[in-house]
Amino acid sequence: MSAQSGTPGTTPGGGQMWGGRFRGELDPQFAAFQKSLPVDHVLAIADLETNLAWSEALCDAGVFTADEQVRVRDAIHELARHWEAHGIAPDDPAEDIHSLVERELVARCGELGKRIHTGRSRNDQVATDLRLYLRDRMFAIVDGVERLCHVLVELAAAHADAPIPGYTHLQRAQPITIGHHALAHAEALGRDRERLIDAIARMDRCPLGSAALAGTTIAVDRDALAERLDFTGGATRNSLDATSARDHVCELVFACAMTMTHLSRLAEDYVFFASFEAGFVRFGDLTSTGSSLMPQKRNPDAMELVRGKAARVQGALTAIMTLVKGLPMAYNRDLQTDKETLFPALRETEDCLAITATALRDVVFDRERCRREAERGYLNATDLADLLVEAGVAFRDAHEVVGRAVDRAVELGVELHELPDADWLALLPQLPNDRRQQLALEHVLARRSAIGGTAPVRVAAEVERWRGRLTEWRADHEEEELRA
């Protein structure tokens, strides 16, 4: 702490903000048990913003003079500069971030540091701090989603026409392109971004002025207060709800858990792609490691860790939903523990987005192997059935005919388009031999040119659409920065 830092007071109750009725000291083990500063110290700057806005509201209400508000403002700015430069001592004796801020303001501006708590409670204070903090953190996660989408889009652009086997049930199904696969994951992440933005918007209301549960007695302009703190949704409309609501926490963690679920699915694909059995991709040295025993190993560790960390964020959602499900209205101390679960979940999500983007920038597809494998395994069987349908065969009958043709090809150890002429004529009399060329990989891909299809021309068009979408997202960021 700075030389101006205060020490715990000597008021009854051990100098705690709540100590008026208390004469004895807390049990030391309980004092440590209920202390939240090691977790909520990350709210320090948000708490200073809340204090500054409240001091201005108190000045407007006549509780502070203009000179007193300036003294408080200067003390807040000085404290913010100190903490930004030096951080907060992890062993500080303060109970929580609010008592630490009050103690430090008292050390800098005397009794004004105590008077600033007039008309408010730690209940509406922490609710406001948390929303301010989450707004910044969630936009950082949104930015991480956008950066990963950019990587996927450029991966798709580089491989728009590169074939690779597509799978259902982890069985080879039909050929797709690498670009189509990359954009599939981008689509999922795009929905995650929408969820995050929607959740942030619902959270964007100011609880300050709700006091403990019944509302403040000070004649503050709560809409002006919300505007000072840049809450675009104005003031919350019910003080009881405002101090106890944590559905925005649940919703934001759900958005993170869904994002992590999508990252885990992406990771699973790439762990498989990197296996010796598939051999579709090779991760570079940036995000893969070896074995301490087996010199030949190159393990896709980044993808495996992302897949593993998804479980922790999903667990955080369950923990927070369980935390709030049985709480009566207004504040309960249980809510202190939400941050112990929430903050690591946000950090894991942000880190995993960044690491996934790094890993995908570092990955190299073996295009030739991918192409060879896309031509094997009868992945053009559906196209053969479609050709029969075009020749007038009902699809169910065509399905059965092609099944017999596949059996014969398996027996001979050839692909469908490699069936000997005699077998082709016997099994597929409706199709002349020259229709075999329609089963070539290029034709199979090109046929799927409808919106959402894997045809290279469609993938290239989707890349351009995505680039436009990313440009719009960047413009939204610039507008947000200008507004801030």
Residues acting as catalytic residues: 169, 291
> Quick check: helix, strand or coil at residue 364?
strand
CA distance 141 to 255: 10
Dihedrals phi, psi of 446, to nearest 5 degrees: -65, -30
Taking Cα atoms as reference points, which of 388, 440, 164 lies closest to residue 405? 388
CA distance 355 to 349: 10
CA distance 282 to 241: 52
Location of structure tokens 């202190």: 336
Q: Please count the residues of the chain.
A: 484
CB 336 within 8 Å of CB 98: no
Location of structure tokens 């000997």: 420
No. of helices (H) and no. of strands (E), the chain:
19, 4
Q: What is the DSSP letter of 25?
A: P
What's the gap between Cα 302 and its chain centre? 17
Dihedrals phi, psi of 174, to nearest 5 degrees: -145, 155
CB 206 within 8 Å of CB 226: yes
CA distance 210 to 213: 6
Dihedrals phi, psi of 176, to nearest 5 degrees: -130, -175
Burial label, 416 (beta-carbon count in 10 A; 0-12, 13-18, 19+): buried
The sign of the torsion formed by the CA atoms of 302, 305, 306, 307 equals positive
Q: Which two tokens stand for residue 196?
A: 């995050």
From residue 154, alpha-carbon distances to 160, 337, 370 in Å are: 10, 41, 19
Report H helices in 41-96: 44-60, 66-86
Q: Which two tokens stand for residue 24?
A: 């004895």
Report which residue type is found at 56. E
Q: Could you tell me which residues come within 8 angstroms of residue 241 by beta carbon, excluding any fewer than 6 positions away?
A: 329
Location of structure tokens 């992302």: 306
- β partners of residue 283: 363
CB 382 within 8 Å of CB 447: no
Q: Could you tell me which residues come within 8 angstroms of residue 479 by beta carbon, excluding any fewer than 6 positions away?
A: none
Q: Which two tokens stand for residue 326?
A: 């049985």
